[in-house]
Structure 1
Amino acid sequence: MLIHGELPRAEIARRLHLSRASLTRITRQLVDDGFLIEGETRLMAQTGRPSEMLRVNAGARHFLGIKLTGDHLYAAVTDLSAAILDSHDQPLASADPVEVVAQIAEIARGMRARQPDLVAIGVAIAGRVSQQDGGAVVEDSRFLGWEDVPLGSMLTEATGLPCAVENDVQALTATEHWFGAGAGIDDMALITVGAGIGCGLVVGGTVVEGAHSRSGLVSHMIVDEAGPYCELGHRGCASSMLVNSSLVAAYRRADVTYEGVVEAAREGDPIALAAFADAGRALGTLIAAVVNLIDPEKIVLTGDGIAVHELGAAALREALAQRVDRDAAEVDVDVRLWDFSKWARAGAGIAIRAMLA
């Protein structure tokens, strides 16, 4: 119901292959616990009795979502439908895990003063996260310089709240699958472009994690064998051509930021436009690989480097047309505007999913 909206009991029973008695027992408990509300009676067909609609009581619970970057913390409080009710951001006082936990705990205390029914925390973080018996462990986060940090248990101890932690792209994919562009879609991909490149996959209605929780590692996939080298020595990988810093390097002008390269391209600067054309070609190659591999119904494209879709559009379309298999079905590429509150919302999204699981 979070995904599909209000429904009559008969339709829920049909979709979940439940008997009417089983469904009645389950929904009664969910109504008693405040998760569901019995709504208006509606005639669903020309014949037959009207059906009583059930809907999610979105305000029944609230969740704190956190996104950590190398130097900043973004926070958002959402309801049960992942709608943002409150948000906040501040620089990290320190990258030391103990101090980061203390900073999050202080934000949680402030948020709970305004939303006393805050029931869980979710953290989205760039890096590798493993789910262990004692809680989620950040095995590696390059931006923060962390290794083997038991962030889940540390935050639970500091706040008294259950805490879910997940790789930020996986968290965003899971949240978009339930509450965003992928709601109701069983097969989709999410690609983020910006300071890094991420790819999340949903196949058969399930977010793909991989045998070692390392799915979607596309940063160093070769997209142009004649391209530049990345910092790891790979020639023509996606990271060397598509991330924001690679566009700055391709522009070859001193003291220019990524935003400056975007502005120059929009003003018609040929060097900036050529850099975005190369990036667009790389992105088209990457999308084609995903389309050929999993046959998604939709690809969600987002991130703080999303300008590549605008400024490298022609090269992207050309690469996509050249590399998608002729038997592949046409895929919907859904471009989403970006701000960092969406990362924090993704943290809340995994907290919601963890609570319901």
Structure 2
Amino acid sequence: MIVTSSRLKLFNMSRVLWEVRRTPGISRRELSRLLNSTDSKLSRITRDLIADNLLVERATARSAMRGRPHVGLYLNPPGLHVLSIVLTRYEQKISIVDLTGQRVAEDEIDGGVEECNNNILDCARRQITRLSERPDMRFECLAGISLIVSPDIELHGDQDQRVWLNALQNDLHMAFDIPVARSGIAEALHIAETHQTIELPTLPSVMVHAGFALDASMIVSTDTSATTLFEGNLNDVLARFDRGTNSWLSLKDVASAGAVMHRLGHVEQVDTSRNTGLRLGVPHAVRQANSGDRRATTAFRDAGEAVGIAIAALVSMLVPARVILAGPLASAVPFVEGFRYIIQKTSACDSDAIIRSTLSDLQAAEAAGLEWFAFSEMTLDHSEPQAPNRK
């Protein structure tokens, strides 16, 4: 691929933003050293970013020579805002975050998402209007929309999820005239977890999201950001042969939240997505498992082992720096223990590398949005972000 001078400049600008986020107050000289750039070149880049209101410079401390203050660079919070929308079985919310990741607006989507896209558009308009009416927030415009969707969202009738989401993405783009980046919950949570550490891993990491649907992603590091090379649905992975029916059962049949609830006899809490019992049923079963209830402990541990077997070959081949479990099932200790047992048994992955995510789905949507619209050279070019769109 031929890298033009303009593309190289945008790449360097995104690297500067990344380093300033990692080390607030960093000096231009230190940035030059980290980026292997000349002082004059770095000065031009930071001057452009300050002109675009993405960076600000402030005195940090006085130097020993003549008492002159050191000047450091910081992200400018109101310089950029991202609208985040998360649509999962448990969480259907909208928020707006500034450049530093501070949440400045949040609301639940009234009426759910299955009925009409207008619910989502109206909620987004309300948040934008409220924020615009607050001068202290210095809110001017949105850089983009982060749309995060879980494959377990249920629609009424025979409506196809892909068709519905394509229409929603188009409606959002038309309504607000800004780019929309869409991806699955596993990828978004993975990006959010990567940002928790600020520093990018030197080896790949794997994320498994376990809820009413099962999906996974793999991330490797680049010079400026976390890049997903793989994100896919695990629901249809063949997991167990059923001698009674003489057929294979999918991973969703044996290891999803729905499968666990069926095994524990809570069938009525699985079938209806808007049922209050659905929201209470899985947390209650998790509490049972964590308190030592034998049936619940066995059900969750078996589910964890099944998910571990499904990705054991991938983990064994990659030897990732981290394997992250997320989603409702990951709150159950026996599920994590069963997963960890299989991964350690079948790979060279260290026990400490297997961790559980505690981030919310909305935090995932926000982190992914900032990745695409604030710390990517494509964003600085004001073009459509190349976020995965697999749903």
- Class of the TM-score when normalised by the shorter of the 2 chains: 0.7 to 0.9
Shift of 1:229: 11
Shift of 1:67: 0.8
Of 142, 151, 162 in structure 2, the residue corresponding to residue 147 of structure 1 is: 162
One-letter amino acid matched to 2:193: E
- How many residues of Structure 1 are paired with residues of Structure 2 in the alignment? 329
Number of the residue aligned with 1:173: 190
Shift of 1:74: 0.5
Number of the residue aligned with 2:216: 199
In 2, Cα distance between equivalents of 1:320 and 1:270: 23
Shift of 1:92: 3.6
Number of the residue aligned with 2:323: 299
Shift of 1:313: 4.2
In 2, Cα distance between equivalents of 1:70 and 1:254: 17
Structure 1: gaps spanning 5 or more residues: 128-140
In 2, Cα distance between equivalents of 1:329 and 1:266: 24
The answer to whether structure 1 residue 316 and structure 2 residue 316 are counterparts is no
One-letter amino acid matched to 1:99: N
Number of the residue aligned with 2:33: 14
Number of the residue aligned with 2:94: 75
In 1, Cα distance between equivalents of 2:380 and 2:141: 15
Shift of 1:63: 1.9
Q: Give secondary structure in 2 for the equivalent of 1:95.
A: coil
Q: Give secondary structure in 1 for the equivalent of 2:190.
A: helix
In 2, Cα distance between equivalents of 1:175 and 1:98: 26
Offset from partner CA, 1:168-214 (integer Å, 9 cap, x none): 3323333433x32464224322222212222122124352345xxxx
Number of the residue aligned with 1:136: none
In 1, Cα distance between equivalents of 2:288 and 2:351: 33
Is the 1:65–1:123 contact (alpha carbons within 8 Å) kept by the matching residues of 2? yes
Of 339, 342, 352 in structure 1, the residue corresponding to residue 360 of structure 2 is: 339
Q: CA distance change for structure 1 residues 77 and 207 in 2, over 3 Å: closer, same or farther? A: same
- Written as runs of structure 1 = structure 2, the 5 A alignment for 1:258-297 is 258-286=282-310, 288-297=312-321
RMSD, aligned CA: 3.5
Is the 1:82–1:348 contact (alpha carbons within 8 Å) kept by the matching residues of 2? no
In 2, Cα distance between equivalents of 1:12 and 1:19: 10
TM-score, normalized by length of structure 1? 0.77
Number of the residue aligned with 2:200: 184
Is the 1:304–1:338 contact (alpha carbons within 8 Å) kept by the matching residues of 2? no
Number of the residue aligned with 1:55: 74
Offset from partner CA, 1:68-102 (integer Å, 9 cap, x none): 23696301121112232332113345535642453
Of 228, 233, 236 in structure 2, the residue corresponding to residue 208 of structure 1 is: 228
Q: CA distance change for structure 1 residues 255 and 39 in 2, over 3 Å: closer, same or farther? A: same
Is the 1:63–1:77 contact (alpha carbons within 8 Å) kept by the matching residues of 2? yes
Which deviates more, 18-27 or 336-345?
A: 336-345
- Written as runs of structure 1 = structure 2, the 5 A alignment for 1:22-61 is 22-41=41-60, 52-61=71-80
In 1, Cα distance between equivalents of 2:241 and 2:145: 45
Is the 2:285–2:296 contact (alpha carbons within 8 Å) kept by the matching residues of 1? yes
Structure 2: gaps spanning 5 or more residues: 1-18, 270-280, 382-391
Shift of 1:124: 1.1
TM-score, normalized by length of structure 2? 0.71
Number of the residue aligned with 1:130: none
- Written as runs of structure 1 = structure 2, the 5 A alignment for 1:73-152 is 73-92=92-111, 95=114, 98-100=117-119, 102-113=121-132, 114=134, 116-119=139-142, 120-127=144-151, 143-144=154-155, 145-148=160-163, 149-152=166-169
In 1, Cα distance between equivalents of 2:306 and 2:21: 33
Q: Which runs of 4+ in 1 moved over 6 A?
A: 227-230
